[in-house]
Structure formats: structure tokens, C-alpha cells
Amino acid sequence: MLLPALLTDNYGFLRGVTSLGINYGQIGNNLPQPEKVLDLLSSLKLTKARIYDTNPQVLTAFANSNVELIVTVENQMLAVLMDPQQALQWVSNHIKPYFPATRITGIAVGNEVFTDSDTTLLASVVPAIVSIHGALAQLGLDTYIKVSTPNSLAVLAESYPPSAGSFKTEVSGIMSQYLQFLSSTKAPFWINAYPYFAYKDKPDEVPLDYVLFNPNAGMVDPYTKLHYDNMLYAQVDAVLFAIARMGFGGIEVGVSETGWPSKGDADEIGAIVDNAAAYNKNILRRQLKNEGTPLRPNMKLEIYLFALFNEDMKPGPTSERNYGLFQPDCTMVYNVGISALSSPSSTSSASISLTSSATKVKT
């Protein structure tokens, strides 16, 4: 059977300690200037961030720093950027002037396009990705900057148990084209995964400790016999199985967003500070161990936490404005251990720990 062969690709090595990423969203009217944000990231020894546009103020402020940036093409731009000439102009205007002084390492082409209600976006995403990659290649930047698109976990038709992971049939044709691109360019498959939502929707069925990475009995996949002690790793492995079912192996899966809200509305079960602190603190602890998932134990799982700041202008329920590790005045919403990095007495291991505690922004 081909499926197990595709899934046993552990890349043969354990990746070195690299920093966790953090999502730096900017949907707020009281957020600090990018220069101050860079100071905050530097004080915390955080060296990877993702932004949801190509804000020239951010790209300029982050020049000559050690922060690696993933930038984003907004969904409404995809149809235009299908045209290779338009893509070349976009890269020439939004990427080339800032690189390499600003360490742009990735371009996210759209966000959660495969599950967007605007189905016209789906027809645009792969041509736009191919055109942007072609523009980077034309400018000699393709070996430095990877092109991908973050997906919602809702792109899966099945995710439990992980071995049942499969993509929705309505996106399978375009998904196959996308996976072919990732395979040929060695770019990662990014997934936005929020165990919080699974708990909120079924708090009587989903064990809180399992979603928070706290000690728990976990679950065993009946097909692989692999043991899972947390939901996030199970979700990532479900994506790996879905990719293998499409006939592709060796594609890295990373978590482009995950997080937990510290506040919510009355019906948002579990959206409290204690849970948010536990979730992000436990992810940081796991990242310190260079952990992979049960299916790929030797390949460290790359994670971007959501989010750096609470963003007061985000629409939707209260939780949407309360995913941040920090308030807009740069005070901590709660302490996940990141502040230890800025302490003069930090040990090298503390620095590593914080390096891996990067946070991601959720949209």
C-alpha cells in the first residue's frame, strides 16, 4: 500500500532549535508603531513573525533585524495576480525593494482560500501562486522566499482519527495542483488549527486537558496505533494523511496559526485567561523539546502562535479581539514565560525556550 510509504518520510534528521513564529496582526487603532513592535520582539528573542499584508512601514522598520517575516497577499488581489506580468509588478513593488535587508522568507498567497465562501477565489489561488513564484524566480529570489497559502482545518472532510484524514472532494482537483506546486518547490503546507473551537463547540465531549496539552490519557489511532496526547498534533497528522491520500509525500506541514482567547462572550466556553496561558505555555514547552508529531517524530513542527496583540477592531465575537499575548501598550495579557528571555540572567536554555514561544495571529 502506497499510503504508509508516503507517511514514513521523517526526513532522516532532527531539525535544530528554531524560534517559534508569532502572528503580528494590525487590525487595531491603538497598536504600537512597527519600530516599537520590533523592539518588543527583539527583547523577547522572537525571530519569526507573520503579517497579513505587505505594510511598507513594517517592512521598513524590520530591515537589518534578525526577524524573519512571512508576508501576505490579500485575498482580493488573487484574481489580478494570476497574470504573470501583474505578479512581476507586485513582487517588484512589494518585495524586491525591501529584500534582503528585511528578511522576507515566505509569501502567503491569500488566507483560507480553499474554504472561503467566495468560490471564485479557489480558481485564482494556484495560478496566482505559480505567477508569484515565477516572478520571484525571474528576479532571482525564489531560492530565498517560499510561496504557499494557509488553509483552515475545515479543508478536511475527515480529521478523526488522524489516519482518516482526507480533503473535501469539492477542492480535490485544485488541491492536487497546489500539492504538486509545494512538492516541486519544497514549500510548506500551512494549516490554521485551533483546538479551542473543537472544545468550545463540544465541551462535554472534548477533554479540556487534551486540547490544552495538559497531562491526560490521550487517544490511540486505531489504524496506526500512534498515541496522541494533544489535539493539535492529531490535527496536523490528519493533514499529513490527507496529503498522502492525494499521492504526495515529503511535504512539510506547519501550523501557520494557533492560539487560545483569554476572554470571550458568555457562549464561548473555555475562553478564559487560565486556559489561554496553559495552551500557549504548553506549546512553548513542547517547542523547547524540538518535538515532531507522532507521525513525523524526527521533524520539528513549525508553529506560529496567534497572536502578538489583542486587536480591538477585529469583527466578530469578543474572543476575536482577545487572542493576543500582549496588550497594545506592550504589557502582557498573561505570562507564558516569554519575558524570561529579556532578563539579563536568562540562561541559554531559557533563550531557546522563548525562541520557540513565538505566537501567531488568527484572522
Per the document, the length of the chain is 363
Residues 6+ apart with CB under 8 A from 336: 277, 280, 281, 284, 325, 357
Q: Helix or strand or coil: residue 244?
A: helix
Q: Helix or strand or coil: residue 290?
A: coil
CB 306 within 8 A of CB 361: yes
Q: Which of 259, 280, 258, 263 is nearest to 317 (CA)?
A: 263
**Cis link prior to 344 (omega < 30° from 0)?**
no
Residues catalogued as catalytic: 112, 257
Tally Cβ neighbours within 10 Å of residue 4. 11
230 to each of 233, 236, 274, 289, 357, how far by Cα in Å? 6, 11, 17, 15, 17
Q: Which of 352, 213, 195, 350 is nearest to 281 (CA)?
A: 213
Pairwise CA distance, residues 317 & 324, whole Å: 15
